[in-house]
Structure 1
């Protein structure tokens, strides 16, 4: 069931989904307008603002609205996609994904397409001359004029909206919001009274049966509740060897079961061709890190964007101050039933800063800012293990930066920031 809901959410985010719904609604509305115009009695006492022209005028209006809406919509979106493709070379493919998943862009496209479909469908009902008794769908023509005004408003909105969406800071903020949401979903507030069962030891899994992947692809979603229910029904304990974001290679081991391997494990795992941010925290980190590393490439040379990314990573680290990382152990009635592989704080920080350190070692401003962020995080984080992770990255950064920095003042600044991290970590 969780996999089905996940698929439905993925479909609802597609660029075509909302425009398709709006187009179907427009066709239904066109049919309703035609019925109102043909049903005797519905035109009695019709409002004065209703279109009252003849057959030729109705055809001209509907044809003009249909041709202009699809022409303007197609031209504007084609040019926009070309501009976004060029900008994505600097900010990464996430920019295009933001564009296609943005509801404002989807509604704008839906307005143009639904107006075209409504006008074209209504045009077929206009008759006169050699075609028989004259008929004008007055309601449809009136609504087509209103939709034409909506197209103008949508065009003005879209031009302003898409201009701001290409802004690098906005892209960074969107990715940072995704990262923060993923972290809050993946972690929970520390509860000293919570009783967490430990996972079984290595000797327990020595007699486990192994499940292999049927096909290649990224693990996108794990139905933990469904796996726990399956384990309870079959009286087994399941351990997942992979986590969301891992690539499943064909015939590679992905799960174990003790004392037997129950059927139905694979059906509770959603595998696709790309990573998603539903349960994959490191994917959200990687998307933001990609913007930072692209900014540090020689072709772009934009350290200010890299510093923006580093600040957002510092925000994420400080958000984890009092939040507990999941153990992956799921129980039922006091018995361990599922042990799921999870990300940890160390892996998260590695994904954040390893590539940023490697690409930014030759930029003293970036290295200094990264060390300043480490110092703040070391003061905020309470767990000694997490402070040790931050200190380890600060030391690696200090070593790489000193090796790539010749200026004596820059080297002194780097050393001073590194000592501040060690003092903050205690």
Structure 2
């Protein structure tokens, strides 16, 4: 149940309509509050006679409020049209999966909400205005505040145009997605050491749990499921993790000891969705950034500089993981392993980051050079030797692509020189010798 609640809260906080809806309700509530003040005569006579407040009659008030309402709803339609056009441009150039970054943008939501809220406020106040023949009621305070809201809408329109112009810039989009990657990586790191994983043989004769649902795992409450397994005296080896797709009848877990309602416990600890959510899914956030680079390398766009910018951000993200521990998915709340979840590893992250870019950059010496340089920077910051082997495997794949796809001998030699520098730094770190010569390119021995 907690997983479903978290899924619902996540959808609400990232929905496009929530903030505009709140601003519309706020506008209506503010109108009723100010009308109550006007009707109650709570304002002193000195304030009512001030030149800062509206002092006209009912006819003028209706004209003014009608102008505010008609203009704000018209501009709101224009804002919505501009947003849709920007979304179409972003979907075509940077990928439809990045649309969420535009729809959850608070600047876009606030701009639309400001116009809709002012429109709702003006309509609410307009219905209370009475001319001399109808009883003569002119809400001076509410009218004055409506004029202030109209001026605020003018400023909001200027802000929105500049904001949207910056948001459709590819470098801005890359930075926004990079922030998501950094946030996901920070949440991924664990303090201290992981528990030792148990022998898989413990589940060799275990009971299989299947799931009849379908969809991507968007939420997974590992701690709740681990405590439930410990209370039931069993141990669960999950076969899926956050971001995996579950098909009807698919095996999702193996239990050492069969327990009644195990499928119900797993169902309560997970929440599925039609799309793969990026919140809490480090690999998915990386895929969104990689998609920008892959589209930039397509023949229709042919923008290698964007791909190189993405590689810089990916390298910076890996540098933040240097020397830090990633979770291995082992949970033992009662001192005994009760849950083991397949988890994100350094190798899987690197594969998601670099495989597709390298494959689509085949024959592009500039992008391959940047890829090798990024891997070299990550290598120089990473003290873990096992991670050096992961980075070295990607370098070997780049070397194979160079021999296969780059026919220009000078370009190929340039990439080989960068690969040679990677090997020099790796050997220097393995021998625990000073890196200064390797970093400056003075040591030519691999």
Farther off after superposition, 297-306 or 412-421: 412-421
Question: Corresponding residue for 2:434?
Answer: none
Secondary structure at the aligned position of 1:254 is classed as strand
The answer to whether the 8 A contact 2:3-2:271 is kept is no
Q: Of residues 60, 79, 84 in structure 2, which corresponds to 1:81?
A: 84
Q: Quote the offset at 1:216 in angstroms.
A: 1.1
Given the superposition, is the C-alpha separation of residues 110 and 334 from structure 1 closer, same or farther in structure 2, using an over 3 Å criterion?
same
1:157 aligns with 2:155: no
Question: Corresponding residue for 1:128?
Answer: 131
Give the TM-score of the pair, scaled to structure 2: 0.91
Secondary structure at the aligned position of 1:265 is classed as helix
Structure 2 CA distance, aligned partners of 1:346 and 1:161?
38
Question: Corresponding residue for 1:8?
Answer: 9
Question: Corresponding residue for 1:257?
Answer: 255
Q: Quote the offset at 1:415 in angstroms.
A: 1.3
The answer to whether the 8 A contact 1:3-1:223 is kept is no
Given the superposition, is the C-alpha separation of residues 41 and 374 from structure 1 closer, same or farther in structure 2, using an over 3 Å criterion?
closer
Structure 2 CA distance, aligned partners of 1:26 and 1:325?
47
Q: Quote the offset at 1:129 in angstroms.
A: 5.0
Structure 1 CA distance, aligned partners of 2:62 and 2:178?
51
The answer to whether the 8 A contact 2:177-2:289 is kept is yes
Q: Quote the offset at 1:45 in angstroms.
A: 4.3
Structure 2 CA distance, aligned partners of 1:425 and 1:280?
31
Question: Corresponding residue for 2:329?
Answer: 328
Give the TM-score of the pair, scaled to structure 1: 0.95
CA RMSD of aligned residues (A): 1.6
Structure 2 CA distance, aligned partners of 1:378 and 1:129?
81
Secondary structure at the aligned position of 1:322 is classed as coil
The answer to whether the 8 A contact 1:36-1:43 is kept is no
Structure 2 CA distance, aligned partners of 1:267 and 1:299?
45
Q: Quote the offset at 1:46 in angstroms.
A: 3.1
The answer to whether the 8 A contact 2:57-2:131 is kept is no
Farther off after superposition, 353-362 or 78-87: 78-87
Moved over 4 A (4+): 40-45
Question: Corresponding residue for 1:282?
Answer: 283
Q: Quote the offset at 1:112 in angstroms.
A: 0.4
Q: Deviations over 1:22-81 (max 9, x none)?
A: 111111111111111112444644341221211101100110000000101211320332
Question: Corresponding residue for 1:237?
Answer: 235
Aligned length: 421
Structure 2 CA distance, aligned partners of 1:242 and 1:94?
22
Q: Quote the offset at 1:264 in angstroms.
A: 2.0
Unpaired runs of 5+ residues, structure 2, are 428-446
Structure 2 CA distance, aligned partners of 1:319 and 1:101?
26
Q: Quote the offset at 1:381 in angstroms.
A: 1.6
The answer to whether the 8 A contact 2:3-2:270 is kept is no
Given the superposition, is the C-alpha separation of residues 41 and 176 from structure 1 closer, same or farther in structure 2, using an over 3 Å criterion?
closer
Q: Quote the offset at 1:150 in angstroms.
A: 0.8
Structure 2 CA distance, aligned partners of 1:409 and 1:80?
46
1:3-402 mapped onto 2 (5 Å cutoff): 3-42=4-43, 44-47=45-48, 48=50, 49-128=52-131, 130=133, 132-189=134-191, 191=192, 194=193, 196-261=194-259, 262=262, 263-402=264-403
